[in-house]
Amino acid sequence: MKDNQPIYHTTEIAKAADVHPNTVRKYEEWGFLPPVARSANNYRVYTRFHLEQMRLARLAMHGGWPGGRIRKSALALVRASAARDLMGACRIAKQHIRLVKEERARAEIAAAYLEKWVRGKIPERRSPPLPILAAARAVDSTPDAIRGWERNGLLRVPRDPKNGYRAYGPREIGRLRVIRMLMRAGYSTMAVLRAMRALDTGTKRKLSRVLDTPRPEEDVLWAADHWLSTLAEQEDRARKILKQLQRMTRLTPAE
């Protein structure tokens, strides 16, 4: 460490990143910061790079995660930067932006599909009612998944009066396709239930907004409970991460 290099203590790093000092120590333990030198009296001595890396790690790691793929990507770029592979971290950060944009696009396509279906712009094939196995095949799902959606209140299926079995007609098949698409796009069961309940009580417009807006009485536990806005926030965060990494590449090696 050069004599003219500014040094920082744990409290100063914590203040700069707006965290508790214990969080700084945890980030070091988890590999989100480079190894930290010790002074003669055994205090941690941080450099400017540590300070900027802490800001980067906090930006990338703080808050909920919209899916495992995005979390894995963020971890990879933080650890690459902690290893001082800033060029590698920048490459991962650009891929990270693309990943978030892809997830967001898929969520928007699913929400748009819901809106079109509700307005009758997606034709439903006329066919005799199907048993659950055939219905599952028709929507590229499984009977277990469909039973789970029914248990969670996402749809109600009429019974065949002759044998008492569930009978999935064109309307139920269309609804199953919508549910499957929304779930695969990352929306939570609660978010889909919210939209289906609104539909069943007569709401025909702006169901995308309903899908993304938890009700006041709901316990919002997951990012997927308000998926569209979460992904929009993640895309903004991803761009800030890249900007921070680019700022760090301008530091001198001594820093």
> Can you count the helices (H) and strands (E) in the chain?
11, 2
Tens digit of pLDDT for each residue in 96-126? Answer: 999 999 999 999 999 999 999 998 888 877 8
Do 39 and 67 share a domain, yes or no?
Answer: yes
Q: What is the CATH number of the domain that holds 117?
A: 1.10.1660.10
Does residue 3 belong to any structural domain of this protein? no
Kindly state whether residues 136 and 126 are assigned to the same domain. yes
- 73 occurs within a structural domain: yes
* Domain identity same for 192 and 211: yes
Q: What is the mean pLDDT of residues 223-231?
A: 89
Distance CA(177)–CA(168), nearest Å, equals 12
What's the number of domains the chain is made of?
A: 2
Percent of the chain clearing pLDDT 90 (strictly above): 73
Residues contacting residue 137 through CB under 8 Å, at least 6 positions apart:
none
Give the sign of the dihedral formed by CA 58, CA 60, CA 66, CA 70.
negative
Residue 240 lies in a domain: yes
Q: What is the mean pLDDT of the chain?
A: 91
Report the C-alpha gap between 203 and 200 in whole angstroms: 7
- Mark whether 243 and 188 lie in a shared domain: no
**213/142 same-domain check:** yes
Domain extent at residue 148? 106-228
Residue 210, pLDDT > 60, answer yes
